Amino acid sequence: MSEVHVDQCPACGAPLPTVDPKHPMRTKCEYCGASLTIDAAKKEILDDSIPEVPTDGKASKTLTLIGIIAILSPILIPILIGLIFLIIHIVHTVSSHKLFGHVTSLPVKCERDEELIIDGKFIELKETAILVDRNCRITIKNSRIKAPTIIKVEYNLDLKIINSTLISTEDMFVSKYEMNININAGKLKSAKTIVTSKHDTKIEIANNSTVESAGVAFDLEYAPEITMSKSSIKAEKIAIKAGYGAVIKMKEGSSVLGDDVGMKLGSNAKLEIESSSIAGDEAALDVDSNAEIDLGSGAHVSGRSVGMKLKGHGKIDIKQSEVQGRNAAIETDGYDMISLSKEAKLHAESVAFNSGYRTKLRMRDSTIESGDTAIRCARGCNLDIENSTVIGEKNSIVLDKEANMHLLNVRLGGQEKFLENLAVP
């Protein structure tokens, strides 16, 4: 029995295997993969349903192309997948008013751990401008936005406002916990509250920023911090209302004005005021117990009724600064330690320094003046006064018999009595 040789694959020209003449054979080309049925007796291919491949007879070229594809596929496939994801991301972000962190239009939502930049937007909305999930970082710059609420956040927002005007018809920024706000050359105006927050809010206001509120400007509950430089806060009710542990610093010509009260603070507050002013109608400062207040050079505290109202157990240091009020410059329940030095001044139309129980007052090179009584202490006060002036048009000093007093080189004046009910130790 003789064997017949079919020489070439009709698809690629590669050699085919030896075939028995009595039995047609179904085979596959080892080179191009074409499926063949060969009739050796007739020396022809009976089934020619093969894929179209190069038929120039050069299997090596086909093999080379397949090899190149095989080599490049690990590189091309990830690139293709990346392009697909990029297209999906672009479609998603554009539909959500964001593109690579830049906000394209408002309103917008800041997702968890996202960073957004709002630049050059001039828009007025009838809904909340920005909704925040948590852990967001937002920068608003060179913009003017008006909305019922500018930002509503669950917690933990870092916000920067640069050279922008924000106007709200409701509360401007609403948060439960942890907001850090930096206002630089900004103008904020609200028909209600600028910031309302329960816990751990930090606010920095600088570079000629202005904050105006038709209600309470800042309503902050627990441990807030406010730092002001060359800026102002004005409110028709209370400029700053804060709970326990507030820390407030003012410098470089800053001002706080509340038509009712300038600042109303909870216990354990800490204030550092220098070259700045606080004013209010009922009181400039209304502070709960255990306060630490440092009025440095150029500080001015002025209340139409009372300048500084204290609940007691505080530590107050006033130097090169002034406190005044119509009814009282300082009014305290007692147990405070109050120091006046370096030309500090207290002035009132009624009682300049009006204390309850066991307050310690130390004066050096300072002045207390009043249209009525300069110093009045209900019980057990301790006065240590040197090189100072204490003048009341009626009485200079009114004390009970349990008081202790040290006077050295003190100018006293009063039409009725210099000293009343005084028991000298």
pLDDT in tens, 204-252: 999 999 999 999 999 999 999 999 999 999 999 999 999 999 999 999 9
Residue 10 near residue 32, CB atoms below 8 Å: no
Mean pLDDT of 98-125: 84
Please give the single-letter amino acid code of residue 125. L
- Give me the torsion for CA of 63, 64, 65, 69, rounded to 10°: 100
Could you tell me the two tokens for 154?
Answer: 């669950």
Mean pLDDT of 363-390: 94
Least confident of 201-215, 321-335, 386-400, 407-421: 407-421
Mean pLDDT of 372-399: 92
Q: Half-sphere exposure of 396 toward its Cβ, with a 13 Å CA cutoff?
A: 18
Strongest mean pLDDT among 193-202, 319-328, 403-412: 319-328
More confident position, 422 or 227: 227
Please give the single-letter amino acid code of residue 354. N
Distance CA 420, CA 269 (A): 35
Residues 6+ apart with CB under 8 A from 65: none
Q: How do residues 321-361 score in pLDDT, each as one tens digit?
A: 999 999 999 999 999 999 999 999 999 999 999 999 899 99
pTM above 0.85, yes or no: no
The kind and range of the H/E element at 91 are helix 59-95
The residue extents of the domains of the chain are 25-93, 96-214
Mean pLDDT of 199-205: 93
Among the listed residues 209, 308, 224, 190, the one whose alpha carbon sits nearest the alpha carbon of residue 254: 209
Quick check: 263 pLDDT over 90? yes
More confident position, 334 or 103: 334
